[in-house]
Every structure is written in C-alpha cells, then in structure tokens.
C-alpha cells in the first residue's frame, strides 16, 4: 500500500521527529510512504493547491498566522476523505477537532507507541474510503466512494444517495445497505447516515458536516449515540 502524508509543523525539530517515527512505522507495516514536510499552514496550502492527493495530514495546532485547526477547516471544505491528526502541546482544542472530523489528538512530545496506533487507524480509514457503492443510473453504472456519501434516504420505490452529487436509483434501502460498511447507521425505516459526517445530535435532529439537518425518528437518539461512540 502507498500512503501520501503531509506533516505541517513550524518547529523543524518536532516535524523531523514525527517524520522519523512515521518512517519506522511504515517500514514495519510494509507501506510505501510519500512524505512532505511544511513549516507553516500557508506553505502547505500553496502545495495543496497544486496536489490534493494526501491520505493523511499531521498538523501542529500552534503555528503562525494560520493555525492547524483553521487549516483543517479550509481543507474540509472540499475534502472529507483525508485523515487529519492534530499534534499539540495543549488539550484545549479537542472540541474544535470534532468540527473537522479529526481522527485523533497527539500531545507533544509525541509518544511513538501512540502514534503507531493512530497511524494503524488512519490506514484502516483510508482503505475504507477506497470502497465504493455501485448504482445503475440512466443505463450506466456509477461508482460512488463510500467516504463521500453523507446519507441515503428512501421515497417509495426509490433511494437517493446524497454524496458530492445526489443520485436516485430504483432500489430498496436494505439492498443498498448491504453494500455499505461499519461507518453507516440506520435511522428508522427511511434513512441511513454516515457516522463520520455527523457533527451534532439532538433528541430530534442530526446535523451533518455540510450543514444538512436530518430528522431523528423517535427512539433513535440513544442507538445513534452508541453507534458514534463505538465507531470513534
């Protein structure tokens, strides 16, 4: 497997240390690593404008004018697939990480064993993101990466898959659900949601990362929260 990783840290020493741990982990796992290091959020964004094919980002939070959380928010506007890990000397930013679906927080100095565990999780997420849902649409086959799907909803004999675009196909929700994986959770009879897209849950609503608001059926609040905890 190949993995494209960006390390963004305004401390050259800290960035090099994380890079060395990353290289050792990749050698142990037999992973081909393509790593780029950036001294600031601005330098990363300049590179990102040219090449967006990063699988994993290790972002320092406390940087110059543009901090790691603000950088992650910009990235998330157009990319829900890349795995983001924050590296920080403080634990005050965890709530903000929820908004950008951060995979994990690592406190400085980074512990090698903890980093390896997080990297293993990141690889699993990247591999999951490679899976697709295949739909028949207008006489052709459409392949939708599972990681791009926000939710599916049924209306009579049709199911609409809400991803970067909306796709409606004649099918049953249960039939399509069989092609999904553990990141998806059924909300009552008519809807399936991608847990990784959920940003907030109330007793009556589910708010997603793109601003969508889904109605939460009666009795679905506790099962949904348990599913989110189990998946995290």
pLDDT (tens place) for every residue of the chain, 232 residues total:
889 999 999 999 999 999 999 999 999 999 999 999 999 999 999 999 888 889 999 999 989 889 899 999 999 887 878 999 999 887 666 666 666 778 888 999 999 999 999 999 999 888 877 778 888 777 778 888 888 899 999 998 899 999 989 999 999 999 999 889 888 999 999 999 999 899 999 999 999 988 999 999 999 999 999 998 887 6
Distance, in Å, from the CA atom of 36 to the CA atom of 46, rounded to the nearest integer, reads: 13
Give buried/exposed letters for 56-95 (b at 16+ CB in 10 A, else e): bbbbbbbbeeebbbebbeebbeeebbbbbbbbbeeeebee
User: Which of 81, 63, 221 has its CA nearest to residue 145?
Assistant: 81
User: Which of 158, 161, 167, 159 has its CA nearest to residue 197?
Assistant: 161
Which pLDDT value is given to residue 86? 93
Which pLDDT value is given to residue 232? 66
Which pLDDT value is given to residue 33? 94
Which pLDDT value is given to residue 92? 67
- In angstroms, what CA-CA distances link 165 with 76, 108, 147? 17, 40, 13
Contact, 193 vs 183, CB < 8 A?
no
Q: Tell me the three state secondary structure of residue 173.
A: helix
The continuous run of DSSP H or E covering 187 comes out as: strand 184-187
57-106: per-residue pLDDT in tens?
999 998 988 989 999 999 988 787 899 999 988 766 666 666 677 888 89
Please give the domain boundaries of the chain with CATH numbers for all domains. Answer: 2-129 (3.40.50.2300), 132-231 (2.40.50.1020)
Tokens describing residue 13: 């020493």
Distance, in Å, from the CA atom of 188 to the CA atom of 171, rounded to the nearest integer, reads: 17
Tokens describing residue 40: 């600031």
């Amino acid at each position: 497997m190949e993995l494209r990783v960006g390390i963004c840290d305004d401390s050259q020493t800290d960035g090099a240390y994380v890079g060395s741990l990353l290289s050792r982990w990749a050698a142990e796992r037999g992973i081909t690593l393509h790593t780029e290091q950036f001294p600031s959020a601005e330098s990363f964004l300049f590179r990102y404008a040219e090449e967006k094919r990063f699988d994993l980002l290790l972002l320092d939070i406390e940087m110059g004018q543009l901090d790691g959380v603000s950088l992650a928010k910009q990235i998330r506007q157009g990319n829900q697939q890349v795995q983001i890990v924050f590296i920080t000397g403080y634990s005050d930013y965890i709530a903000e990480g929820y908004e950008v679906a951060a995979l994990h927080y690592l406190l400085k100095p980074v512990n090698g064993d903890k980093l390896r565990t997080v990297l293993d999780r990141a690889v699993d997420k990247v591999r999951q993101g490679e899976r697709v849902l295949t739909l028949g649409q207008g006489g052709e086959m459409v392949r939708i990466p599972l990681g791009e799907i926000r939710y599916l909803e049924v209306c009579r004999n049709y199911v609409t898959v809400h991803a970067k675009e909306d796709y409606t196909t004649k099918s049953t929700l249960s039939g399509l659900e069989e092609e999904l994986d553990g990141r998806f959770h059924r909300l009552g009879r008519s809807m399936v949601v991608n847990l990784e897209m959920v940003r907030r849950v109330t007793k009556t609503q589910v708010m997603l990362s793109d601003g969508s608001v889904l109605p939460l059926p009666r009795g679905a609040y506790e099962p949904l929260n348990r599913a989110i905890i189990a998946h995290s």
